């Protein structure tokens, strides 16, 4: 006995159905191969064989798994089911596009839906492991920092951490107005409403750090400016420990900071930050109001002379 498992495998639901089928076949001690309708999908499926190259004589079973299924699919993608006439053919969790009286190539059809019946999707049978949901709030360059920009390295560190820890990453953009915002978020309320649903925020932006802590969400911040700048300064004045410069952002340190952010201690610390910031800012309104009522003697404004070469470098963001 040997089975060929064939499917689209183009959604995470398809993959969970495949994993369920693989578990059942393994439990039944039936060896199997996997083939995808599209070659560009097949390369991502571990151990997949090309669907157009399979030898039907090798198999006792053909199992077509998950997704819409109709004759035109086989005409475009293959394989030719007529070559599997000697195989036991099973359709599992399929949406049968054609009426079954017109076309049903299976000995056993346990469809998801057809003109005959409907079942819950097979993924309900498989538990899905949960992973932390992290917002990723980043910027690629800030030309005002000239040669001190290390944004590319900060983005690489964040991307590597997301990949290494298999985190569920959700982009969060703080730019305004909505036309400039990659997620179409058009107000502070919308941005913070997204962030507060995250387990952690990963950022190289000052307002990423600020809005996360304002929402009571732990934040891992990487200052993208060489030597540290406003992100480091903001974390310092708040006493928020999960911050690093690019220079010090080793994989081990980022992993440790992420673990702390996901801990009960990290979550509790984040919830205290908003009240602490308000306490530190308490004198500001009074000082501002006083300044509005005071009269200051006129003083000339002196602008520093920046060499042309330096101005060009800043303009070009280099």
Are 115 and 96 in contact, with CB atoms under 8 Å apart? Answer: yes
Out of 79, 96, 125, a domain closes at: 125
Strands in 168-171's sheet, in edge-to-edge order, are 168-171, 133-137, 200-203, 219-223, 243-245
96 located within any domain: yes
Tokens, residue 301: 């404004």
Q: Are residues 71 and 189 in the same domain?
A: no
Could you read off the pLDDT of 180-190 as tens digits, one per residue? 999 999 999 99
- Residue 12: how many CB atoms within 10 A of its CB? 10
For the entire predicted model, the pTM comes to 0.81
41 located within any domain: yes
Q: Are residues 137 and 121 in the same domain?
A: no
Give the angle subtended at the CA of 205 by the CAs of 239 and 173, to the nearest 5°: 130
Give me the pLDDT at residue 309, please.
65
Q: Are residues 262 and 140 in the same domain?
A: yes
145 located within any domain: yes
The domain total for the chain is 2
Specify the CATH number for the domain of residue 150. Answer: 3.40.50.2000
Report the alpha-carbon distance of residue 75 to residue 55 in Å, rounded. 18
Q: Are residues 9 and 91 in the same domain?
A: yes
187 located within any domain: yes
Give me the pLDDT at residue 312, please.
61
Q: Are residues 189 and 260 in the same domain?
A: yes
Tokens, residue 202: 């990963």
Q: Are residues 158 and 271 in the same domain?
A: yes
Residue with tokens 């406003």: 230
Number of residues written out for the chain: 318
Residue 61 belongs to domain spanning: 3-125
Q: Are residues 110 and 249 in the same domain?
A: no
Specify the CATH number for the domain of residue 90. Answer: 3.40.50
- Residue 97: how many CB atoms within 10 A of its CB? 14
233 located within any domain: yes
Is pLDDT at 45 greater than 60 in this prediction? Answer: yes
Could you read off the pLDDT of 214-236 as tens digits, one per residue? 999 999 999 999 898 999 999 99
307 located within any domain: no
Tokens, residue 211: 């809005």
Least confident of 22-31, 62-71, 141-150: 141-150
What share of the chain has pLDDT > 90, as a percent?
Answer: 76
Is pLDDT at 313 greater than 70 in this prediction? Answer: no
Residue with tokens 């910031």: 277
Q: Are residues 192 and 246 in the same domain?
A: yes
Give me the pLDDT at residue 144, please.
76
312 located within any domain: no
Secondary structure (3-state) at 91? strand
Report the alpha-carbon distance of residue 274 to residue 149 in Å, rounded. 29
CA atoms within 13 Å, Cβ hemisphere of 5: 27
Report the alpha-carbon distance of residue 114 to residue 95 in Å, rounded. 6
The average pLDDT across 127-137 equals: 93
Q: Are residues 164 and 220 in the same domain?
A: yes
Are 48 and 35 in contact, with CB atoms under 8 Å apart? Answer: yes
Out of 86, 106, 125, a domain closes at: 125
**Which of the four pLDDT bands, split at 50, 70 and 90, describes residue 8?**
very high
Could you read off the pLDDT of 61-120 as tens digits, one per residue? 999 999 999 999 888 887 889 999 999 999 999 999 999 999 999 999 999 999 999 999
Residue with tokens 């199992």: 63
* Cis-peptide, bond into residue 79, ω within 30° of zero: yes
The answer for residues whose C-beta is within 8 angstroms of residue 247's C-beta and 6 or more apart is: 150, 226, 227
How buried is residue 196: exposed, middle or buried, by Cβ count under 10 Å (0-12/13-18/19+)?
middle
């Amino acid at each position: 006995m040997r089975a060929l498992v064939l499917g689209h495998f183009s959604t995470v639901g398809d993959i969970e159905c495949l994993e369920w089928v693989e578990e059942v076949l393994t439990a039944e001690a039936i060896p199997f191969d996997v083939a995808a309708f599209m070659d560009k999908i097949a390369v991502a499926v571990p151990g997949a064989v090309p669907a157009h190259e399979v030898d039907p004589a090798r198999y006792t079973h053909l199992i077509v798994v998950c997704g819409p299924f109709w004759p035109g699919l086989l005409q475009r993608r293959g394989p030719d089911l007529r070559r599997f006439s000697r195989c036991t053919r099973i359709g599992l969790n399929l949406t049968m596009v054609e009426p079954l009286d017109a076309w049903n190539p299976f000995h056993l059809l346990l469809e998801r839906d057809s003109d005959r019946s409907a079942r819950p999707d097979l993924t309900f049978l498989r538990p899905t492991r949960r992973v932390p949901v992290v917002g990723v709030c980043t910027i690629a360059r800030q030309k005002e920092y000239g040669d001190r920009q290390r944004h590319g390295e900060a983005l690489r560190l964040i991307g590597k951490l997301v990949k290494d820890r298999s985190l569920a990453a959700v982009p969060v953009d703080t730019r305004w107005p909505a036309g400039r915002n990659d997620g179409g978020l058009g107000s502070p309320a919308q941005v913070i409403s997204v962030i507060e649903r995250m387990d952690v925020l990963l950022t190289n932006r000052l307002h990423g750090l600020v809005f996360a802590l304002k929402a009571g969400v732990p934040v891992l911040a990487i200052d993208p400016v060489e030597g540290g700048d406003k992100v480091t300064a903001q974390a310092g004045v708040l006493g928020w420990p999960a911050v690093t410069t690019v220079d010090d952002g080793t994989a081990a340190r980022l992993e440790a900071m992420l673990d702390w952010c996901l801990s009960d201690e990290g979550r509790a610390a984040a919830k205290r930050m908003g009240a602490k910031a308000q306490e530190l800012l308490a004198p500001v309104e009074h000082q501002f109001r006083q300044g509005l009522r005071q009269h200051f003697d006129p003083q000339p404004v002196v602008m520093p002379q920046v060499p042309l070469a330096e101005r060009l470098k800043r303009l070009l963001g280099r």
